[in-house]
Amino acid sequence: MADSKPQRSRPGLVEGALEMLAASWGYLRVRGELASIEGREAGLHWLKALALLGGALVLLPFGWLFLCLASVFLIAKAIGTDSAWIWVTFGAAILHFGAAYVLFLKVRSFAKLPLFPATLDEFRKDQAWLDAKTAKRN
Protein backbone atom coordinates (compact mmCIF):
# COMPACT_ATOMS: atom_id res chain seq x y z
CA MET A 1 0.00 0.00 0.00
CA ALA A 2 1.40 3.35 -0.97
CA ASP A 3 1.94 6.03 1.59
CA SER A 4 -0.67 8.73 1.11
CA LYS A 5 1.33 11.38 2.91
CA PRO A 6 3.21 13.63 0.56
CA GLN A 7 6.96 13.46 1.02
CA ARG A 8 8.33 16.61 2.50
CA SER A 9 11.46 17.67 0.72
CA ARG A 10 14.46 18.03 2.95
CA PRO A 11 16.41 21.22 2.63
CA GLY A 12 19.67 20.79 0.84
CA LEU A 13 23.10 21.43 2.18
CA VAL A 14 23.24 24.95 0.76
CA GLU A 15 19.83 25.90 2.14
CA GLY A 16 20.73 24.50 5.56
CA ALA A 17 24.04 26.34 5.58
CA LEU A 18 22.30 29.59 4.59
CA GLU A 19 19.73 29.15 7.36
CA MET A 20 22.51 28.48 9.86
CA LEU A 21 24.43 31.51 8.62
CA ALA A 22 21.31 33.71 8.86
CA ALA A 23 20.58 32.49 12.39
CA SER A 24 24.21 33.02 13.42
CA TRP A 25 24.22 36.50 11.92
CA GLY A 26 21.00 37.38 13.75
CA TYR A 27 22.44 36.06 17.01
CA LEU A 28 25.67 38.04 16.57
CA ARG A 29 23.77 41.20 15.57
CA VAL A 30 21.57 41.07 18.68
CA ARG A 31 24.58 40.36 20.91
CA GLY A 32 26.44 43.23 19.26
CA GLU A 33 23.55 45.60 19.91
CA LEU A 34 23.45 44.50 23.56
CA ALA A 35 27.22 44.97 23.88
CA SER A 36 26.91 48.42 22.29
CA ILE A 37 24.21 49.50 24.76
CA GLU A 38 26.15 48.15 27.72
CA GLY A 39 29.34 49.73 26.37
CA ARG A 40 27.71 53.16 26.30
CA GLU A 41 26.39 52.65 29.83
CA ALA A 42 29.80 51.49 31.05
CA GLY A 43 31.46 54.46 29.35
CA LEU A 44 29.14 56.89 31.13
CA HIS A 45 29.69 55.07 34.40
CA TRP A 46 33.48 55.32 34.14
CA LEU A 47 33.28 58.92 32.89
CA LYS A 48 31.36 59.82 36.06
CA ALA A 49 33.89 57.91 38.17
CA LEU A 50 36.79 59.74 36.47
CA ALA A 51 35.08 63.10 37.00
CA LEU A 52 34.62 62.33 40.71
CA LEU A 53 38.24 61.18 40.96
CA GLY A 54 39.38 64.37 39.24
CA GLY A 55 37.39 66.45 41.72
CA ALA A 56 38.92 64.53 44.62
CA LEU A 57 42.42 65.01 43.20
CA VAL A 58 41.82 68.76 42.90
CA LEU A 59 40.47 69.05 46.46
CA LEU A 60 43.06 66.83 48.11
CA PRO A 61 46.04 69.22 47.82
CA PHE A 62 43.95 72.06 49.21
CA GLY A 63 42.95 69.94 52.18
CA TRP A 64 46.58 69.01 52.79
CA LEU A 65 47.66 72.66 52.50
CA PHE A 66 45.09 73.82 55.05
CA LEU A 67 45.97 70.95 57.38
CA CYS A 68 49.65 71.91 57.21
CA LEU A 69 48.88 75.60 57.80
CA ALA A 70 46.68 74.80 60.77
CA SER A 71 49.36 72.50 62.19
CA VAL A 72 52.05 75.15 61.75
CA PHE A 73 50.03 77.80 63.55
CA LEU A 74 48.96 75.42 66.33
CA ILE A 75 52.57 74.38 66.96
CA ALA A 76 53.71 78.02 66.79
CA LYS A 77 51.02 79.03 69.28
CA ALA A 78 52.14 76.21 71.60
CA ILE A 79 55.74 77.48 71.43
CA GLY A 80 54.50 80.99 72.19
CA THR A 81 57.02 83.28 70.46
CA ASP A 82 56.16 85.77 67.70
CA SER A 83 58.48 84.27 65.09
CA ALA A 84 57.91 80.59 65.92
CA TRP A 85 55.55 80.13 62.98
CA ILE A 86 58.36 80.94 60.53
CA TRP A 87 60.58 78.17 61.91
CA VAL A 88 57.73 75.67 62.15
CA THR A 89 56.81 76.44 58.53
CA PHE A 90 60.43 75.97 57.50
CA GLY A 91 60.52 72.62 59.32
CA ALA A 92 57.30 71.48 57.62
CA ALA A 93 58.75 72.44 54.23
CA ILE A 94 61.94 70.48 54.95
CA LEU A 95 59.85 67.43 55.96
CA HIS A 96 57.82 67.65 52.77
CA PHE A 97 60.88 68.04 50.56
CA GLY A 98 62.53 65.10 52.32
CA ALA A 99 59.48 62.89 51.83
CA ALA A 100 59.27 63.95 48.17
CA TYR A 101 62.96 63.09 47.69
CA VAL A 102 62.48 59.63 49.21
CA LEU A 103 59.49 59.02 46.92
CA PHE A 104 61.51 60.24 43.93
CA LEU A 105 64.27 57.75 44.76
CA LYS A 106 61.70 54.98 45.03
CA VAL A 107 60.20 55.86 41.63
CA ARG A 108 63.69 55.95 40.11
CA SER A 109 64.36 52.44 41.41
CA PHE A 110 61.07 51.29 39.85
CA ALA A 111 62.08 52.84 36.53
CA LYS A 112 65.19 50.62 36.42
CA LEU A 113 63.08 47.43 36.50
CA PRO A 114 62.31 46.09 33.02
CA LEU A 115 58.70 46.06 31.92
CA PHE A 116 57.22 42.76 30.71
CA PRO A 117 60.21 40.59 31.67
CA ALA A 118 58.48 37.27 30.93
CA THR A 119 57.31 38.48 27.52
CA LEU A 120 60.78 39.75 26.63
CA ASP A 121 62.25 36.43 27.74
CA GLU A 122 59.82 34.55 25.49
CA PHE A 123 60.74 36.82 22.57
CA ARG A 124 64.43 36.07 23.21
CA LYS A 125 63.68 32.33 23.23
CA ASP A 126 61.71 32.68 19.99
CA GLN A 127 64.55 34.62 18.39
CA ALA A 128 67.09 31.99 19.48
CA TRP A 129 64.86 29.24 18.08
CA LEU A 130 64.49 31.09 14.76
CA ASP A 131 68.24 31.69 14.61
CA ALA A 132 68.88 27.98 15.23
CA LYS A 133 66.37 27.00 12.50
CA THR A 134 67.97 29.43 10.05
CA ALA A 135 71.45 28.17 10.86
CA LYS A 136 70.37 24.54 10.19
CA ARG A 137 69.01 25.48 6.76
CA ASN A 138 72.21 27.21 5.70
The pLDDT of residue 74 is: 93
- Shared domain check, 21 and 68: yes
Nearest C-alpha neighbor of 69 from the set 52, 51, 47, 93: 93
The pLDDT of residue 69 is: 92
> How many domains are contained in the chain?
2
* Domain region containing 63: 17-80
- Shared domain check, 87 and 68: no
- Shared domain check, 111 and 71: no
* 72 contact partners, CB below 8 Å, separation of at least 6: 85, 88, 89, 92
pLDDT tens, position by position, for the chain (138 residues)?
A: 555 665 556 668 888 889 999 999 999 998 999 989 998 998 999 999 999 999 999 999 999 999 999 999 999 999 988 888 898 999 999 999 999 999 999 999 888 887 888 888 898 998 999 899 888 877
Mean of per-residue pLDDT scores for the chain: 88
Burial state string for 3-40 with b = 16 or more CB within 10 A and e = fewer than 16:
eeeeeeeeeeeeeeeeeeeeeeeeeeeeeeeeeeeeee
Element (H, E) at 109: helix 84-111
- Shared domain check, 88 and 133: yes
